[in-house]
């Protein structure tokens, strides 16, 4: 089964699809190893790891495309790209959908913020007119060569315009061709329940540790009828904390390897990166 078809099938299934966010190839590989069925390319995580900057629209299209290609190629499970605002108008949205599909992504997030965009859990967001976003989504649907390529339409209208406008946009975006509707920056448990109930399409919810949306368990979201939950920053937060602790120990003790339980084994990471395979290939084809 193609990755696009697999992702669409998982979204349409009664079971909640859980998609942790990857910020590089190794984090995507570890998501797959942990038994998850799909991976979200995290714009926040990629901006943080690649640029050391917040997710405020500085990361460019080509940078995002290149990192998405690497992530998609590193795993056997489907990967969803982060297409931000389409990086422009409907014409550029058409173009980037073609590019991300060719790069191996099984789907793409597209959002209705003005440029430059902001992380959905930041303040100060603004959105473009609904009609303009509908045009972008129609362009995205037209651009995909594989009709199972997933279009995840994100609206950030809730914070500036209220939950009713977010729901209105969600339904319009589904009619324009979106596979999945993602309302970001939800601030109450009742609003989470409302958008799932009132949007006539599969709905995605974001769970950001420390973010604006109240935490739900996966069981709770599945019972409410959510189609997908994204956990976009879990891996980058864990990586930051783990590296901070390891470096503090290294500095305090002056003894590398003094806390082996806090580190992956060197042999373990060599095996996960398939280093022995390359050694075998080198010997096989050596002159």
Bridge pairing between strands 228-231 and 17-22: parallel
* Count of residues making up the chain: 287
Please report, for the domain that includes residue 61, its CATH number. 3.20.20.60
Nearest to 189 by CA among 197, 181, 177, 199: 197
Does residue 266 fall inside a structural domain? Answer: no
Tell me the H-state helices in the chain. Answer: 3-12, 25-33, 43-46, 61-74, 90-102, 130-143, 158-161, 163-175, 189-198, 218-224, 234-253, 266-272, 275-285
pLDDT given for residue 262 in this prediction: 84
Cα of 11 vs its chain's centroid, Å: 14
Does residue 227 fall inside a structural domain? Answer: yes
Window from 19-33, 115-129, 219-233 with minimum mean pLDDT: 115-129
Q: Which residue has the higher pLDDT, 3 or 55?
A: 3
Does residue 258 fall inside a structural domain? Answer: no
pLDDT in tens, 88-104: 999 999 999 999 999 99
Cα of 197 vs its chain's centroid, Å: 23
Structural domain count, the chain? 1
- The structure tokens listed for 102 are 């060719």
Confidence band of 287 (pLDDT split at 50, 70, 90) = low
Look up the domain containing 203 and give its range: 3-239
Confidence band of 40 (pLDDT split at 50, 70, 90) = very high
pLDDT at 190 over 70: yes
Does residue 257 fall inside a structural domain? Answer: no
pLDDT in tens, 61-76: 999 999 999 999 999 9
pLDDT in tens, 149-164: 999 999 999 999 999 9
Does residue 260 fall inside a structural domain? Answer: no
What's the mean pLDDT in 171-175?
Answer: 98
Window from 36-45, 139-148, 186-195, 256-265 with minimum mean pLDDT: 256-265
What's the mean pLDDT in 177-182?
Answer: 97
Q: CB-based burial of residue 261 (10 Å sphere; 0-12 exposed, 13-18 middle, 19+ buried)?
A: exposed
Q: How far apart are CA 204 and CA 265, in angstroms?
A: 36
Write out the H or E segment, with its range, that includes residue 204. Answer: strand 203-206
Does residue 12 fall inside a structural domain? Answer: yes
What is the percent of the chain where pLDDT is above 70?
99
What's the mean pLDDT in 276-282?
Answer: 88
Q: How many CB atoms lie within 10 A of CB 22?
A: 32
Q: How far apart are CA 10 and CA 148, in angstroms?
A: 12
Does residue 280 fall inside a structural domain? Answer: no
pLDDT at 175 over 90: yes
- Provide the whole-model pTM: 0.94
Q: What share of the chain is helix, strand, coil (3-state, %, to 5)?
A: 50, 15, 35
Count CA atoms closer than 13 A to 179's CA, side-chain side: 27
pLDDT given for residue 4 in this prediction: 98
pLDDT in tens, 110-143: 999 988 887 767 777 899 999 999 999 999 999 9
Window from 4-18, 41-55, 191-205, 266-280 with minimum mean pLDDT: 266-280
Pair 140, 125: CB distance under 8 Å: no
Confidence band of 55 (pLDDT split at 50, 70, 90) = confident
Cα of 154 vs its chain's centroid, Å: 12
Does residue 269 fall inside a structural domain? Answer: no
Pair 83, 156: CB distance under 8 Å: no
């Amino acid at each position: 089964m193609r990755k696009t078809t697999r992702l669409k099938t998982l979204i349409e299934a009664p079971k909640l699809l859980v998609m942790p966010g990857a910020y590089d190839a190794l984090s995507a590989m570890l998501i797959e190893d942990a038994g998850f069925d799909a991976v979200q390319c995290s714009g926040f995580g990629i901006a943080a790891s690649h640029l050391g900057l917040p997710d405020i629209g500085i990361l460019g299209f080509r940078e995002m495309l290149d990192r998405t290609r690497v992530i998609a190629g590193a795993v056997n499970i489907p990967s969803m790209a982060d297409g931000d605002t389409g990086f422009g108008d409907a014409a550029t949205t058409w173009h980037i959908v073609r590019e991300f599909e060719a790069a191996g992504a099984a789907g793409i997030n597209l959002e209705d913020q003005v440029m430059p965009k902001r992380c959905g859990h930041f303040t100060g967001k603004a959105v473009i007119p609904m009609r303009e976003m509908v045009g972008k989504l129609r362009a995205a649907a037209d651009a995909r060569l594989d009709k199972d390529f997933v279009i995840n339409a994100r609206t950030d209208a809730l914070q500036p315009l209220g939950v009713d406008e977010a729901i209105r946009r969600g339904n319009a975006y589904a009619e324009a061709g979106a596979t999945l509707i993602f309302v970001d920056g939800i601030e109450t448990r009742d609003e989470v329940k409302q958008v799932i109930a009132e949007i006539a399409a599969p709905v995605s919810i974001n769970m950001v540790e420390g973010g604006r949306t109240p935490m739900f368990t996966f069981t709770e979201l599945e019972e409410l009828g959510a189609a997908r939950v994204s956990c976009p920053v879990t891996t980058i937060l864990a990586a930051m904390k783990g590296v901070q602790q390891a470096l503090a120990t290294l500095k305090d003790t002056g003894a590398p390897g003094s806390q082996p339980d806090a580190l992956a084994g060197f042999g373990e990471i060599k095996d996960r990166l398939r280093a022995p395979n390359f050694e075998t290939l080198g010997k096989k084809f050596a002159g």
